[in-house]
Structure 1
Amino acid sequence: MTEPTPDTELLWEEFHQIVNMTSDEIRTWLLTDASGEDALPADPGMGLPELGIRVVDLLRKRKADLTGDDTEVMRKVVEFVEDRADAPEQDDRWRRSLMSVGHDPLKP
């Protein structure tokens, strides 16, 4: 077990502030038809939205167990949400894209 670096600590905090859904909420969302084209298919081996699945896995991890790949996924999620936070068209499609990585913009 390695000690997280200060950069990893900051990223961990930012990731957990941006991802405001639980792993179960994200998983359920991805399994519903309401999540649109990115919904999980009946056959879980095909077409899974990788970033959303990785977020579910990350939320179930301890900070001490993070890998380099995990920190890269956290960075991608933070950038993805920040890039779309002030999108001019904040419609259902916009919300679904954010929820696919664990950020519900309507959640307080």
Structure 2
Amino acid sequence: MAGARIILDEMELRIPVASGKGKTSLLIAYDKEVSVTGKIASYIVTWSKEAFYLRFVEYGTSHSAANPFMRPAFEAKKNAAAEAVRQVIDEKLKAANGK
């Protein structure tokens, strides 16, 4: 979740704002298919179903050019997100070992 929050924050900064609804449609979702209870928690950063049109903004259409915000946000913050995840894991391990 720590890494996903960093990516989401960057996406909110980069998303093109025409009406403002796109920014409020961004969310973090728990991925049940990849997660294993008690072992692995996987999260995805995406948009709500109501904001389906954001895929057209991200990837473009035959009538409009792409205006990507999702991939650039990930690329800009992937190292910071990985570091945030590492820090959370380190904290949990230290707490489990009593340090």
More helix by share: 1
TM-score by length of 1: 0.27
User: Which structure has the greater CA radius of gyration?
Assistant: 2
Q: Which has the higher contact order (CA 8 A, sep 6+)?
A: 1
More strand by share: 2
